[in-house]
Structure 1
Amino acid sequence: MIRRLTPYLLVVLTLAGGLAALSIRPATAETRRSADYVVVVGIPGLRWDDVTEQGTPNLWRLAERGSIGSLSVRSALKPTCPVDGWLTLGAGNYAGWRRSTAVTDGCPPLSVDVQRPDGIGAFLPDLDRQAVAYNESLTWGAVPGALPQSVRCTSAIGPGAAVAAARPYGRVDNYEPELPANPGQLLSRCILSMVDLGTVSGDDPAVRATAAARADATLARVLAARPDRSLVLVAGLADTDQSSRLHVAIADGPGWEGGWLTSPSTGRDGYVQLVDLAPTALLALNRPRPERLFVGQPATSVPGRPEKLPDAVTFPADADREAGAQRSVATWFFGILAVVQLVLAVAVVPLLRRARRHAGDDHEPVRKPISDTVEVLLVAAALAIPAALVADLVPWWRGGQPGWLFAAVMAFVLAVGTTVVRFAPAFRHTLGPLAMVVTVAAVVVGVDLMTGARLQLNGVAGYSVLEDNRYAGVGTVGLGVFVTGVLLGAGALAQRFARSWRPLVVVLIGGLGIFLVGSPYLGADPIGAVALTAGVCIATALSTGGWLTLGRLAGASVAGVAVTAVFAWIETRRPEAERGSLGRFVSALGDGTGGTTLQRTSKASFDALANSPLTLLALVGAALLWLVLLRHWGGLRRAYGLYPAIRAGAVGIGVAVLLGGVLGGTGLELAGAAAAVAVPMAALTALRVLNHASDFTRPTAPETTPEATPDAEPEVAKGVGAA
């Protein structure tokens, strides 16, 4: 019993110890009041390309003094039109204004009924019907007006600012439709002021430059009248059409000099979310945040920005271009990859059936040029996603035709990778291609995580900051590729060891993988770490061969639950702003809001299932496995019998991706990314096993072969293992 439990104890000790060591961060400094006033200036549509030293001198000087970043303007609706952006600002949560018609081109002009019954404040009669009641039906639990409700007094200038400054029942404390000639008195009347400087929209550079210059001129009057010890937040807080972009974020005030903006909600320097602005304002004013209403985290300023502003501005402007190009290119890439893998799946069927007949009779085998070509194509298909990650080392998004440039770079990288694998000495071994491909996949993602996950950030095979799902660490596609590389790589390596040592090999490699995925400094994905833990436990139990018995399943389950419990306990003990998705979910269960979290996760899973091209990859892979490779003639069963550690890794992948998809709300995206690497390698391995099956079923010299004896079986098994 002790010997059987040893692998699972090693899993628990290795993973729990490693994750505990990395999950506990140094204590953060005590929050202190940094401003007496906060002025939020909204310019919907403003991008860093619109900010120039000559065209917008006031914005330029403000950015030189303060901290800057790229603002992601996600709201409850797509696209985030100006009214949605202002409403999200005031809610501190993903909110949206009810729409009578869908936005098919540009966003409609902001048109809100603002009444002034007393000439001092204002009243928005449509707020309850168009915003408050509507957001109650959404899954985010946003309450419009949560930010102004958290302070005693709020001033608003302009209709957009009135939407953000209105309390939940529609009242705005102080309101002016336009900036007064002398705005100093109005800006100092309340500790929180909001100013609407108009919208910058369109694709014509001249039109955008004119709108930006007009907003900049008005900003000069705001800055001249700002109260002493005030924090000014300038935000391009909305999109203006269907093309989502990154926008301007500037913070100027005491403690915000010359740095990058960041927040715990993004975990990456230079990036903040629209929902972070409300908690940032309250933090600066030393006001408590409303419980369970805000989803963002207070932004902070961190060093590391280039001293010269022209050099610093190139980073957020370049990120905006990359994020804009990534979305369309990624859709085409995964769509084409799914079609290619479907064609390969159809093409490999007759080769498998012919190889099966060759194993049992005198039919002519598949011609070597054909089998070699199919093997090379399968290797290339499996390396496509790792090649797409490496292709992001080249700034393809800066060209005039970013899609074609990415295709050229990616084709070159893929050709080099496939050639290296094809002509490597290990390629002639049965498991050689599989071992090399999955190792490359794991190394590419692992090295990227250890260097800041820069290849996945806005990458074609990574994640887009425009979706607000992730800004740092490992993404869904990267996690699927990494899980496949770790588990199949561990299986391929374990197969080279004696049976008794295989569990230890799987544990060590799997533990390193979970270390990289679960660390808040590296992969920053506790849900992915939990899923990979389950896969490692199952692979450990099956690595010595045999079936998944009740005892093995119980041992693997206990180990997985133990690590998950330890990880959840560590997450809940961290500060609220630093908790990962697992810690936030556990906390939500404790305070009774877990139902909303589950509802959001279910909706996200359904959206991913219906809209992601990775779903097609998952379905193609599942169909090839179930209808072809796992049939009696498909060859994969024979491969699993010869290489039980490979079978263990494959079963572990299935458990990990299904569990990760359910818990992470990604549908079949995780399974699709894993299938893109694992299924072509499974087909190639099955082909090789069938093509060599006759080497062990037909004796080479029948006339001299002795009668079969019990002692002959180990020799046959030895020959099969050497294949």
Structure 2
Amino acid sequence: MLRRIAPILLTLVVVALGITALSAGPQTPPPRRSADYVVVVGVAGLRWEDVDPQGTPTLWQLARDGSIGSLSVRSAHQPTCPVDGWLTLGAGSFAAWTGSRSAGQCPPVEVTVEQPDRIGANLPEQESVVLHNQDRLPWGTVPGALSESVRCSVAVGPGAAVAAARPFGRVDRYEPTLPEDPADLLGSCVLGIVDLGVVAGEDPAVRAAAARTADAQLARVLAGRPPHSLVIVAGVSDTERPSRLHVAIADGPGWENGWLTSPSTGRRGYLQLVDLAPTALAALGRPMPDRPFLGRPAESVGGRPDDLSVAIAEPADADREAAAQRQVAAGFFTLLAGVQVVLAVAVLPLLRRARRHAGPYGPKPVPRRVVATVEVLLVAAALAMPAALLAEAVPWWRNHHPAATFAGLTAVLLAAATLLVRLAPGYRTTLGPLGAVAGLTALAVGLDVVTGARLQLNGVIGYSALEGGRYAGLGTVGLGVFIAGALLSAGWLAQQVRRGWRPMVMVVVGGAAVVVVGSPFLGADSIGAIALTAGVSVAAAISAGGWLTLTRLAWAAMAGLAVTVGFAVVDLGRPSAERGSLGRFLAALGDGTGGLTVRRSSASSFDTLVNSPLTVLALAGALLVWFALLQPWGGLMRLFGIYPAIRAAMAGTAVAAGVGGVLGAAALDVAGAAAALVVPVAALSALRVLDHSADRTRPGPDRPADAGPVDGGPVDGGPVDGGRADGGAATPDGAGAESDDRDGTKPDHEGGATPGRDADQAAAGGADGAGSGPGPGRGRAVRSSAEVATG
């Protein structure tokens, strides 16, 4: 009865952990009114490197008094050109202007602005722009949503007219240029939007001149700002490829001397362009529009250095890091995919010749040094992503040659990690490298997440603030690597205990991983937590042996569904502004706009599938496993039979990575990141098992002569117990004291008799021929005492 109800109880534990991790979120106080007027000042292309006390004294003083941050200017187009940025500012959601543009370049802001009454203005193109964003783009953006939420708005300059135009094209009050004394103009409406031009190009002298011009106009805006007002200065767009992070400053009551942040980023010092519209409405105490903004109201948090030069250096450095990350990441993943494909091809002949032959005939075995070298290379390939993550602890992007610096630093860390695994006490055993690699990987990613995921932000294997998808927590690549590391670590630990305790070990370790992934305070990835819950349930169900039956798969699916439903209920109960991605999607289904979310996810998945090097990693790993490792000569089936907890961990990893990719619109990126770890250690472990498939067991006081074959012992010690069938001398290593797992574990049943061994181990011995009679390519399973004595 206990065996029957154990899967149910363990599944309930995993579900409870998953829902607890997802539902415990930080309490966000509701936004409160803080100003009577809001003035948004935009300077397209303005970056923190353009701000200094001599050239831009007004910006410098405003940053000293107010709160500052890095602004991600993502819109519906990449790069975000000035007209796209202004439109996104006024829409509060990703938007794009109609018209064509050359690759990588932004056209000047050429917008037709009509002034029929010399008070307001009209944009005749606005109607077509609204239709374009509503029908052809997948966000359902409503241009002009910000101005529609206030009674009156004023715009200065053509870019501001784009932001302030209502959906039908009307701008309430408009001036093409900033007056010498703008006090009356800015005080005529509660919302003012001012366009101060463009800072473009990479020539420092040209950028400095444009920044000085904008700074002088900003001084007039501040001199004429209404009383009790909030002034927001933003670099509202890029001016060319590649994208960059830009200036964000907020100055007003309650915004003094802090960092800007937003619930949409969850990261101190980071803000999105789509956050500016809800920030303005929240400061004015106005309700949000019926169709919610994609952005969230910004807020000011403490912790900023007192020295403004030190404070500004931080977002400027983040901009440099994000720019360097984009250049390095593509090359790193392409190189990693190429190396792993080459290793997969190199492993094939080793697998074919790894099994020892009992007869006098057979192919010559591969030299031990060659096998040992390939094993070290497999360990290094599996540790490449953790090494790249740890390389982010050193500011390599500040060097004049960031790509070369990152490559050298990663190579040094990779060599150190590989040496650490190579010198580990259990390296000689079958599962030693697997356990060490998985443990180091889970530890590296887990500690980074627990300490704020600083290494993933703008990191090569993390996520870029320029992409606008994630700013905190666990990224897509990190999720795949952490899933593989956590579940393989759980499988290795479970294999060290008796069979009855293995599911509990899987649940404890896997449940802790679910909390790390799903907690809003840590990984903040609800989709990843749901996927990992399903994977942990699968792994726990088969960790003690047996097959992945339909019943067990159904339990895993029910566990993931239960976590999803539980979190959905909690998320829908929150205010609309505080809901996560799942709650927003379900709410969209309720109001009939869920199709837009599905459309965005489908487009994102297809783009990722086609363009990501991780797709190659996932497909190459799947081909190696299916057509080589899982074949009778490949060794993986034998490994699974002898070590059922490892089979459970790998099956759970496959389930979690697949579900996470599908639900997270990441295509094969999660699976590719997991495969980069799992496939090399699986190939290495398969080589170890095949190398010992013909080992003999010396009879001893605790193990009778008919106990059957034992796989997986020390590699460099030769045959563990009984010598080779080709006449080699027997070796006494571990004679009479080996367990069924050969990694220091105790046998599942004391005494070592054949009926007491794992059923999966016996099945493995028969499946690949290791337990059949002598012949070419096969080893004898049992040697009698007389045979051992005579050698």
Q: State whether TM-score is above 0.5.
A: yes
Instruction: Between 327-336 and 28-37, report the one with greater CA deviation.
Output: 28-37
Q: 1:443 — aligned with what? A: 443
| Residue 336 (str. 1) matches residue 335 (str. 2) | yes
Paired residues for 1:455-604 under 5 Å: 455-604=455-604
SS in 1 for 2:198: coil
SS in 1 for 2:622: helix
Contact 2:186/2:225, CA 8 A, preserved across alignment: yes
Contact 1:357/1:363, CA 8 A, preserved across alignment: no
Paired residues for 1:240-639 under 5 Å: 240-356=239-355, 358=357, 362-639=362-639
> What whole-Å deviation, never above 9, does each CA across 1:640-685 have from its counterpart, x for those lacking one?
1111111111111111111111100001100110000000011111
Contact 2:22/2:567, CA 8 A, preserved across alignment: no
The change in CA–CA distance for 1:17 and 1:668 in structure 2 (over 3 A counts) is closer
> What whole-Å deviation, never above 9, does each CA across 1:70-91 have from its counterpart, x for those lacking one?
0000000111000000000011
Q: CA deviation at 1:547?
A: 1.1
Q: CA deviation at 1:564?
A: 2.5
Once residues 31 and 203 of structure 1 are traced to their aligned partners in structure 2, the CA distance between those partners, rounded to angstroms, is: 39
Q: 1:713 — aligned with what? A: 754
Contact 1:132/1:168, CA 8 A, preserved across alignment: no
Instruction: Between 689-698 and 676-685, report the one with greater CA deviation.
Output: 689-698
User: One-letter code of the match for 1:222?
Assistant: V
Q: 2:192 — aligned with what? A: 193
Q: CA deviation at 1:599?
A: 1.3
Q: 2:780 — aligned with what? A: none
> What whole-Å deviation, never above 9, does each CA across 1:391-437 have from its counterpart, x for those lacking one?
00000000101000001110000000001101111100000000000
Once residues 715 and 549 of structure 1 are traced to their aligned partners in structure 2, the CA distance between those partners, rounded to angstroms, is: 23
Instruction: Between 173-182 and 11-20, report the one with greater CA deviation.
Output: 11-20
Q: CA deviation at 1:584?
A: 2.1
User: One-letter code of the match for 1:333?
Assistant: F
| Residue 97 (str. 1) matches residue 94 (str. 2) | no
Q: 1:182 — aligned with what? A: 181
Contact 1:143/1:293, CA 8 A, preserved across alignment: no
Q: CA deviation at 1:11?
A: 3.9
SS in 2 for 1:533: helix
The change in CA–CA distance for 1:720 and 1:597 in structure 2 (over 3 A counts) is closer
Contact 2:82/2:239, CA 8 A, preserved across alignment: yes
The change in CA–CA distance for 1:20 and 1:659 in structure 2 (over 3 A counts) is same
User: One-letter code of the match for 1:177?
Assistant: P
Q: 2:776 — aligned with what? A: none
Once residues 712 and 29 of structure 1 are traced to their aligned partners in structure 2, the CA distance between those partners, rounded to angstroms, is: 65
Instruction: Between 381-390 and 305-314, report the one with greater CA deviation.
Output: 305-314
Aligned positions, number: 717
Contact 1:144/1:168, CA 8 A, preserved across alignment: yes
Once residues 181 and 760 of structure 2 are traced to their aligned partners in structure 1, the CA distance between those partners, rounded to angstroms, is: 91
| Residue 655 (str. 1) matches residue 655 (str. 2) | yes
Q: CA deviation at 1:181?
A: 1.8
Contact 1:44/1:239, CA 8 A, preserved across alignment: yes
> What whole-Å deviation, never above 9, does each CA across 1:578-632 have from its counterpart, x for those lacking one?
3322222233233332221111111111111111111111111111111211122
User: One-letter code of the match for 2:257?
Assistant: G
Once residues 651 and 253 of structure 1 are traced to their aligned partners in structure 2, the CA distance between those partners, rounded to angstroms, is: 55
Once residues 161 and 64 of structure 2 are traced to their aligned partners in structure 1, the CA distance between those partners, rounded to angstroms, is: 29
Contact 1:92/1:279, CA 8 A, preserved across alignment: yes
Instruction: Between 438-447 and 624-633, report the one with greater CA deviation.
Output: 624-633
> What whole-Å deviation, never above 9, does each CA across 1:136-166 have from its counterpart, x for those lacking one?
3110000111111111111000000000010
User: One-letter code of the match for 2:152?
Assistant: C
The change in CA–CA distance for 1:638 and 1:18 in structure 2 (over 3 A counts) is closer
Contact 1:19/1:567, CA 8 A, preserved across alignment: yes
Q: CA deviation at 1:98?
A: 1.7
> What whole-Å deviation, never above 9, does each CA across 1:518-543 have from its counterpart, x for those lacking one?
10000000000000000000111111
SS in 1 for 2:249: strand
SS in 2 for 1:425: coil
Contact 2:15/2:562, CA 8 A, preserved across alignment: no
SS in 1 for 2:695: helix
SS in 2 for 1:427: coil
The change in CA–CA distance for 1:446 and 1:711 in structure 2 (over 3 A counts) is closer
> What whole-Å deviation, never above 9, does each CA across 1:23-74 have from its counterpart, x for those lacking one?
3346543432111110000001000000001110000000001000000000
Once residues 583 and 638 of structure 2 are traced to their aligned partners in structure 1, the CA distance between those partners, rounded to angstroms, is: 43
Q: 1:24 — aligned with what? A: 24
Contact 2:17/2:511, CA 8 A, preserved across alignment: no
User: One-letter code of the match for 1:713?
Assistant: T
Once residues 688 and 282 of structure 1 are traced to their aligned partners in structure 2, the CA distance between those partners, rounded to angstroms, is: 64
TM-score by length of 2: 0.88
Q: CA deviation at 1:715?
A: 8.2
Once residues 519 and 507 of structure 1 are traced to their aligned partners in structure 2, the CA distance between those partners, rounded to angstroms, is: 17
The change in CA–CA distance for 1:536 and 1:701 in structure 2 (over 3 A counts) is closer
Q: CA deviation at 1:719?
A: 14
Contact 2:130/2:167, CA 8 A, preserved across alignment: no
> Computing the radius of gyration over CA atoms, which structure comes out larger, 1 or 2?
2
Q: CA deviation at 1:546?
A: 1.2
Q: 1:683 — aligned with what? A: 683
The change in CA–CA distance for 1:15 and 1:633 in structure 2 (over 3 A counts) is same
The change in CA–CA distance for 1:490 and 1:52 in structure 2 (over 3 A counts) is same
The change in CA–CA distance for 1:66 and 1:355 in structure 2 (over 3 A counts) is same
The change in CA–CA distance for 1:701 and 1:454 in structure 2 (over 3 A counts) is closer
More helix by share: 1
Once residues 582 and 8 of structure 2 are traced to their aligned partners in structure 1, the CA distance between those partners, rounded to angstroms, is: 23
SS in 1 for 2:40: strand
Q: CA deviation at 1:375?
A: 0.3
Contact 1:502/1:544, CA 8 A, preserved across alignment: yes
Q: 1:77 — aligned with what? A: 77
Q: 2:39 — aligned with what? A: 39
| C-alpha RMSD over aligned residues | 2.2
> What whole-Å deviation, never above 9, does each CA across 1:677-707 have from its counterpart, x for those lacking one?
000011111111111111156975989x9xx
Once residues 24 and 544 of structure 1 are traced to their aligned partners in structure 2, the CA distance between those partners, rounded to angstroms, is: 32
Once residues 466 and 199 of structure 1 are traced to their aligned partners in structure 2, the CA distance between those partners, rounded to angstroms, is: 19
Q: 2:154 — aligned with what? A: 155
User: One-letter code of the match for 2:530?
Assistant: V
> What whole-Å deviation, never above 9, does each CA across 1:207-247 have from its counterpart, x for those lacking one?
10000000000000000000001100100010011111000
Once residues 347 and 711 of structure 1 are traced to their aligned partners in structure 2, the CA distance between those partners, rounded to angstroms, is: 37
Once residues 589 and 21 of structure 1 are traced to their aligned partners in structure 2, the CA distance between those partners, rounded to angstroms, is: 25
Contact 2:88/2:96, CA 8 A, preserved across alignment: yes
Once residues 374 and 396 of structure 1 are traced to their aligned partners in structure 2, the CA distance between those partners, rounded to angstroms, is: 30
Contact 1:116/1:122, CA 8 A, preserved across alignment: yes
Q: CA deviation at 1:15?
A: 4.8
The change in CA–CA distance for 1:631 and 1:227 in structure 2 (over 3 A counts) is same
User: One-letter code of the match for 1:152?
Assistant: R
User: One-letter code of the match for 1:519?
Assistant: S
SS in 2 for 1:43: strand
Contact 2:153/2:173, CA 8 A, preserved across alignment: yes
User: One-letter code of the match for 1:403?
Assistant: A
Contact 1:476/1:670, CA 8 A, preserved across alignment: yes
Once residues 293 and 21 of structure 1 are traced to their aligned partners in structure 2, the CA distance between those partners, rounded to angstroms, is: 26
Q: 2:231 — aligned with what? A: 232
Structure 2 unaligned residues grouped into runs of 5+: 697-708, 710-718, 731-750, 766-791
SS in 2 for 1:181: coil
SS in 2 for 1:654: helix
User: One-letter code of the match for 1:534?
Assistant: A
Identity over the aligned pairs, expressed in percent? 62
The change in CA–CA distance for 1:21 and 1:131 in structure 2 (over 3 A counts) is closer
Structure 1 unaligned residues grouped into runs of 5+: none
